[in-house]
Amino acid sequence: MINIGMVNEIARMCDRMNINVWEVIDAAATKPFGFMPFYPGPGLGGHCIPIDPFYLSWKSKQAGFEARFIELAGSINGDMPHFVVTKIQGALNNNCKSVKGSRIHIMGVAYKRDIDDVRESPALDVIHLLQELGADVTYSDPWIPKIDHEPVVMTATDEAKGVKEADCVVIITDHKKFDYAALVKNSKVVVDTRNALKGIQSPNIVRL
């Protein structure tokens, strides 16, 4: 949790300095020893990492000790969906559109690749935030035909149709079944939060 929180903070730092965080991680990974890569993303999901460390933090507070790294990492990771929404706002703004009234298509809502679990998925937060801003949000996920987690209740849209009709496509979960080349070709703009489009160059790609 702490390592992911650190790399998410570095991603936001790099964004502010106009540096490609994915290239930074690849460069660091050339070190032949003592390096384990962690990757940024739209936030943490699942039933373990986003939740279990706070049990330890809560218990330590009972003993009069503040687990500051856990709390800080939780704050950074928890804020990533908001950061993703700002990236979407910027991408739409560059195409002379506002979030309100725009159709935004989410690619993948599971909390990680190639599973059918949406527990604590950052996609739910991103969708809810966009809906609150007035966006018309749709999604595609080959593993999850329907979302029924209040306040997000939705049915999946056909991938090709969703991409073609969207003002902005957002990759939240990088499922292997997605046709990324077709996605880039048929999208007005793509916000990639997982580096799923690594190696694909196009002016309509906005990377985390």
124, 143, 182 from 13: Cα distances, Å: 25, 33, 31
- In this prediction, residues 180-191 reach a mean pLDDT of 96
Is residue 142 within 8 A of residue 133, CB to CB? The reply is: no
- In this prediction, residues 22-39 reach a mean pLDDT of 94
Q: What is the pLDDT of residues 9-25, one digit of tens each?
A: 999 999 999 999 999 99
Domain boundaries, the chain: 2-207
* Residue 77: per-residue pLDDT: 96
Confidence of residue 181 (pLDDT cuts 50, 70, 90): very high
Q: Which residue has the tokens 């384990």?
A: 36
State the Cα angle at 39 between 37 and 44, rounded to 5°. Answer: 130
Q: Is 48 a catalytic residue?
A: yes
Cβ neighbors of 118 (< 8 A, separation 6 or more) are 45, 109, 110, 111, 124, 144, 147, 149
For the chain, what is the largest distance between any 2 Cα atoms, rounded to a whole number of angstroms?
56
* Residue 39: per-residue pLDDT: 96
- In this prediction, residues 49-61 reach a mean pLDDT of 93
State how far the Cα of 202 lies from the Cα of 25, in Å rounded to an integer.
Answer: 21
Which tokens hold the place of 24? 């930074």
Confidence of residue 167 (pLDDT cuts 50, 70, 90): very high
Fold category of 2-207 in CATH: Rossmann fold (3.40.50)
* Residue 194: per-residue pLDDT: 97
- In this prediction, residues 126-141 reach a mean pLDDT of 97
Quick check: 47 pLDDT over 90? no
Quick check: 91 pLDDT over 90? yes
State how far the Cα of 1 lies from the Cα of 195, in Å rounded to an integer.
Answer: 20
Average pLDDT score, the chain: 95
State how far the Cα of 117 lies from the Cα of 101, in Å rounded to an integer.
Answer: 29
Q: Which residue has the tokens 């809560």?
A: 58
- In this prediction, residues 32-53 reach a mean pLDDT of 92
Confidence of residue 98 (pLDDT cuts 50, 70, 90): very high
Catalytic residue among 14, 48, 96, 168: 48
The reported pTM is 0.94
Please choose, from the candidates 38, 51, 48, the residue with its C-alpha nearest in 3D space to the C-alpha of residue 11.
38
- In this prediction, residues 96-111 reach a mean pLDDT of 97
Please choose, from the candidates 150, 105, 159, 156, the residue with its C-alpha nearest in 3D space to the C-alpha of residue 128.
150
- In this prediction, residues 46-66 reach a mean pLDDT of 93
